[in-house]
Amino acid sequence: MAILKYQLRAQRILGRIFASVLKYDLFTLSWIDSSVEILKLGGGAGSWHVPSNVLSSESICYCFGCGEDISFDLSLIAHYGCHVYAYDPTERAIQYVKSTTSGVKEYHFSDIGIWNEDTTLKFYSPSDARNVSHSALNLQQTNTYFEAPVKRLSSLMAANGHDHIDLLKIDVEGAEYKVVQSIVEDEIPIGVLCMEFDECFGPQDFGYMRRIVSTARSLKSLGFRISHSTGNGNLTFVHASVS
């Protein structure tokens, strides 16, 4: 695993250079479409990049993985005046969101996780207790966990009365593969997808590239293209129907 750790570190360093200079993402092995005008929303590690002319006050935005930084979610509301539906089953995240969003009527939060079926999962603790993110895939190979309900994206949308999503943010500690699988199977109409591939930081094994590339290709088959990449696993996909 030590070799894998150094390999990833080098890949992230080179990835940032390739993304900014060559407009090529080293993790998904994809070219970045730099013709899309990009707007950065949120602060610090909680920021994401979105197309500047796609969203509006009528947009439906879903954000999975709140942690203790929802600056992006709140920036969406402040900039566009849209409604945000946010989900995170982690206790620290629940307490943080409740204390941060009191009185924000456009923010709708539920303590439910996202998966490819409606069930209950174990969420494993991070190796560093200072971190808030827990993983259903147990990316950091720890022994402590909590259990929480999870839902398929289409189930949550049905409960909310939505037949499409204008923006979907996924930062779910490895569960993104299952979520994308369900999106492809259900053919969910999505305009913008902001997603972190968490294996760029905590891989399960040397097969991380195969999983990342396969997931990116499945999104391309739906009509998505990459419009922004940080070069280290955070990407913004834009569907052809909205650009």
CA dihedral 93, 96, 102, 107 (to 10 degrees): -30
pLDDT band at 202 (very low <50, low <70, confident <90, very high): confident
Query: Is the distance from CB of 219 to CB of 237 less than 8 angstroms?
Result: yes
Strand pairing partners for 40? 49
pLDDT for residue 147 = 97
Structure tokens at 49: 């990049």
pLDDT band at 182 (very low <50, low <70, confident <90, very high): very high
What are the tens digits of pLDDT across the range 40-59?
999 988 999 999 999 999 99
Is residue 231 pLDDT above 90, yes or no? yes
Q: Which domain holds residue 23?
A: 2-242
Higher-confidence position of 105 and 9: 105
pLDDT at 6 over 90: no
Instruction: Look at residue 185 and give its three-state secondary structure.
Output: helix
∠ Cα 99 100 103 (to 5°): 90
Per the structure, how many domains does the chain have? 1
pLDDT of 93 > 80? The answer is: yes
Model pLDDT, residue 41: 98
List the CATH number of the domain containing 200: 3.40.50.150
